[in-house]
Amino acid sequence: MFRKTTARLLVITLRPQCRGLSSHVQRLAYNADRPTKLQEQLLQHPSPVPLVVTGAMDNWQARNWTRSDLMQYGDTIVPVESSRNGGDYRDLHTASSTRSFEADLEVPLSAVLQSMQDTDTRQQPAQSLLYAAQVDLISLIPALEEGIEQPPLQVINDRLYKRNTWLGPAGTITPLHCDPYFNLFCQIWGSKYIRIYDRKHAQRLHPFSNPFLRNTSQVRVEKVDSKMFPSFDQVPYLECHLMPGEMLFMPKKFWHFVQALEPSWSVSYWWT
């Protein structure tokens, strides 16, 4: 696989982990009168850089939908990742494999929506996090298309590789990894903390040598082991809190770490 509280609480716990050279991803306001300009702005540079685009999702009806609205599709079976105690997909491929992470489970969408509710109200903090990650939910539930607009980039029409949705509770973590695609990552509900490293720093991020995990870092960004990775905090990075209604453009092979700060729904478009 090419992968994977409230806002303030997590921001405080994340920041002290890494005192490296960090900057914020620059923000760009979308001009609805000149939609074709966006593609130029994102891709015109010989070396494109990450950018947050604001104002390009104002017409997405899905932003106004609630979890109860999605419950009408609650019987739809969706693949999920299930994690507890900070487990993630690396556990499937490493010797320290624990039962704190399971992939390829299938559950009704209602269970995911319920898990979002539980973590939101913190009624059952010990429960597993159910994350419908990297799923094309829109193909499973075509009615969702009504609330999700195709982003105004011709290149997505011409060279789309995969559309993914990411639906889950606060606290889901996608470990630091890179994908061989451009990515327009659109935030519908909730906010996410995203940290990005330039592809040129790949070797300083300690990728696994295991062929299944070569695109994934051994470093747990949320809890860096500074004895094992003493120079990790010297690697410069960009970061943002992606808010509902914002899109994040990421160039190919840029490394990224993603943590949901609130119950969250995102849609991403990967192209080659």
Ligand X SMILES: O=C(O)CCC(=O)C(=O)O
Q: Per the structure block, which two tokens stand in for 191?
A: 């906010």
Judge contact between 159 and 272, C-beta under 8 A: yes
- For residues 101 and 185, which CB has a smaller minimum distance to ligand X in the complex? 185
3-state secondary structure of 92: helix
Q: Which is nearer to ligand X, 30 or 166 (CB)?
A: 166
Residue 186 has which token pair?
């659109």
- Closer by beta carbon to ligand X, 34 or else 162: 162
Q: Which two tokens stand for residue 181?
A: 């695609």
Taking residues 95 to 134 in sequence order and writing x for each that binds ligand X by CB under 6 A, - otherwise, the string is --------------------------------------x-
Residue placing its CB nearer to ligand X in the complex, 34 or 214: 214
187 binds ligand X (CB under 6 A): no
Computed on alpha carbons and rounded to an integer, the radius of gyration of the chain in Å comes to: 18
Q: Which helix (H) or strand (E) holds 52?
A: strand 51-54
| Beta carbon of residue 156, minimum distance to ligand X (angstroms, whole number) | 14
Q: Does 174 bind ligand X (CB under 6 A)?
A: yes
* DSSP category for residue 149: P
Nearer to ligand X, 82 or 266 (CB): 266
Q: Does 258 bind ligand X (CB under 6 A)?
A: yes
**Touching ligand X, residues 20-49 (CB under 6 A):** none
Written as six digits, the tokens of 31 are 């001009």
Stretch that binds ligand X, among 11-19, 77-85, 166-174, 207-215 (CB under 6 A): 166-174
- For the record, the structure tokens of 34 come out as 């000149």
DSSP string computed for 101-120? EEEEEEEEHHHHHHHHHHHH
- Smallest gap, in angstroms, from Cβ of residue 33 to ligand X? 29
- Tokens 């109200």, located at residue: 121
Instruction: Tell me which stretch binds ligand X (CB under 6 A): 64-72, 141-149, 179-187, 221-229.
Output: 179-187
| Neighbouring-strand partners of residue 196 | 238, 256
List interacting residues with ligand X (CB under 6 A).
3-4, 133, 166, 172, 174, 179, 183, 185, 256, 258, 266, 268
